[in-house]
Copies of this chain bind each other. A is one copy, B any other.
Amino acid sequence: MIPHLKTALTGPLLSLEKHLILEMANIEHWFRTQWLEHTAPFYASVDLRNAGFKLAPVDTNLFPGGFNNLNPDFLSLSIQAAMVAIEKVCPEAHRLVIIPENHTRNIYYLKNLFELQNILKKSGLDVRIGSLDQTILEPTKILVENNKSLLIEPLKRVKNRVVLENQLLGNFDACAILLNNDLSAGTPEILKNLEQNVIPPLNAGWVTRRKSQHFKAYDKVVKLFTEFIKVDPWLINPYFDHVSHIDFLARLGEDELSSKVDQVLHKIQLKYKEYNIKHEPFVIVKADAGTYGMGIMTVKDGDELKKLNRKSRNKMAVVKEGLEVSEVIIQEGIYSEECINDAVAEPVVYMIDHFVIGGFYRVHTTRGKDENLNAPGMHFVPLAFETSCSTPEEDESPLSTPNRFYAYGVIARLALLAASFELETYDSIN
């Protein structure tokens, strides 16, 4: 099923979606030529927001953690895409180690890990899981659900390789290492200077990555794309700005942040006027490095940032794994007008290599449509996309499920291409 859009879709988005369906052959040709020159990340997920008048990515995750939320009917699509990815990145690989996040008590994450391992096994690899978690001292079997369990083994460094030592199953010297850990805590010593192929490269972790760099790259992608399909770039691109050297606890940089927030709000206001949109503009202020929706604020007036109470400042100051926030991105807030019953729903699109393999909605009953849906402790209900994102029907309404999903797949792939541009930047720095 596709969530019902509350707005009457007659505005710019409807015409954008129509345009994407009609231009499909040209769009696919455009992507094809882009992927001739740029390398897609091994995998990624993109959070989209659909405001009815605007459809844009708000976050691109290079270590996706929701494979368990995808429609199981399309498992074979993921397997096929993984086959292509492996052929490109490590065609000779036989054995692969997945390095997961450390939170092995999160059953949803474990289910994700199980599905990821399942996809990679079926795409033709011996796959085992090697953990960085210091509390995993020996191979540990964890029940995921009935008949499904994971074996998590401690990762060991031997010279320039990481290996698994297991008396029962035999030792395991992988040809390649797949990160499903975003390295929020920094790049672990054990992973430095490995002769094994690390996928994605270490600089895709949050040690190097900045959201503002991603959206700078996305600007470039959108420029190229909209010049060619002739639409207003703003319809698929959120405004953003960036502040470095901020210290929420010491109250340093607040003035700069506040004034930049007002500038972004002003730009949004002008666009709302142009399109006759009655909403109140808002921005999302969030850590420029990091994930899991910690350190995130909805702001409707720059002044709010000067009046933050202690609790809010503490919340903004650190993200996952205690990483301190010294840089933030100010991102145009996009109202989420997609609802299932009365719950706000945010589409998440999954990709392996440059293929859209599916997606799901984060459905959240207790949050407003101007809030971030990927927040800590947030209990969303995942609702898998019913159809694939690659089967648009020209003859049907742009509102039909396959056409809506095709549009999602196009925008998500633009963000994926931006991630590719972004990783190239980090490569050239290193």
- Taking a contact as CB atoms under 8 Å apart, the answer to whether B124 and A32 are in contact is yes
Q: Is the CB of B395 within 8 A of A147?
A: yes
Q: Which of B123, B147, B392 contacts A122 (CB 8 A)?
A: B392
Q: Are A76 and B390 in contact (CB under 8 A)?
A: yes
- Does A292 make an interface contact (CB < 8 A)? no
- Taken together as a complex, chains A and B put the C-alpha atoms of A123 and B87 apart, in Å, by 20
- CB-defined A-B contacts under 8 Å, sample of 29: A25-B94, A25-B121, A25-B124, A25-B125, A25-B126, A27-B124, A28-B83, A28-B123, A28-B124, A28-B125, A29-B125, A32-B83, A32-B86, A32-B124, A36-B87, A73-B73, A74-B76, A75-B388, A76-B389, A76-B390, A77-B80, A79-B390, A79-B391, A80-B355, A80-B390, A83-B355, A84-B84, A122-B390, A123-B390
- Known A25-B124, A25-B126, A84-B84; contact A76-B391, beta-carbon cutoff 8 A: yes
The yes or no answer to A91 lying at the interface (CB within 8 A) is yes
Of the candidates B29, B31, B124, the one whose C-beta lies within 8 Å of that of A29 is: B124
For A74, the chain B residues whose CB sits under 8 A away are: 76
In the bound complex, CA of A32 to CA of B109 (Å)? 30
Tell me how far the C-beta of A414 lies from the nearest C-beta in chain B, rounded to whole angstroms.
15
- Closest Cβ neighbor of A82 among chain B residues: B390
How many angstroms between the C-alpha atoms of A389 and B83 in the bound complex? 14
A24 within 8 A of B: yes
A35 at the interface (CB under 8 A from B): yes
Q: How large is the interface on A (under 10, 10 to 19, 20 to 34, 35 or more residues)?
A: 35 or more
Q: Is the CB of A87 within 8 A of B32?
A: yes
C-alpha spacing A83/B29, complex, angstroms: 10
Q: Which of A24, A25, A91, A392 has the most CB of B within 10 A?
A: A25
User: Is A91 within 8 A of B33, CB to CB?
Assistant: yes
Are B35 and A75 touching (Cβ within 8 A)? no
Contact A91 to B121, CB < 8 A, known contacts A77-B76, A81-B80, A355-B80: no
User: What sequence of 0s and 1s flags, for each residue 390-423 of chain A, a beta carbon within 8 Å of any chain B beta carbon?
Assistant: 1110010000000000000000000000000000
Give complex CA distance A27, B121 in Å: 12
A124 to B125, CA, bound (A): 30
Within residues 315 to 335 of chain A, which ones have a CB less than 8 A from any CB in chain B? Answer: none
Binary contact readout A16-48 vs B (1 if CB under 8 angstroms, 0 otherwise)? 000000001111110111011000000000000
List the B residue with the shortest CB-CB distance to A118.
B391
Q: Across the interface, which residues of B come within 8 angstroms of A92, CB to CB?
A: 32-33
In the assembled complex, which residues on chain B have CB atoms less than 8 Å from the CB atom of A355? Answer: 80, 83
Once the chains are docked, how many angstroms separate the CA of A29 from the CA of B391? 30
Beta-carbon contacts of A109-131 to B below 8 Å, as 1s and 0s? 00000000000011111100000
A207 to chain B, nearest CB (A): 32
Q: In the complex, A122→B394 CA distance in Å?
A: 10
CA distance in complex: A223, B76 (Å): 29
Nearest neighbor of A96 in chain B, beta-carbon distance: B25
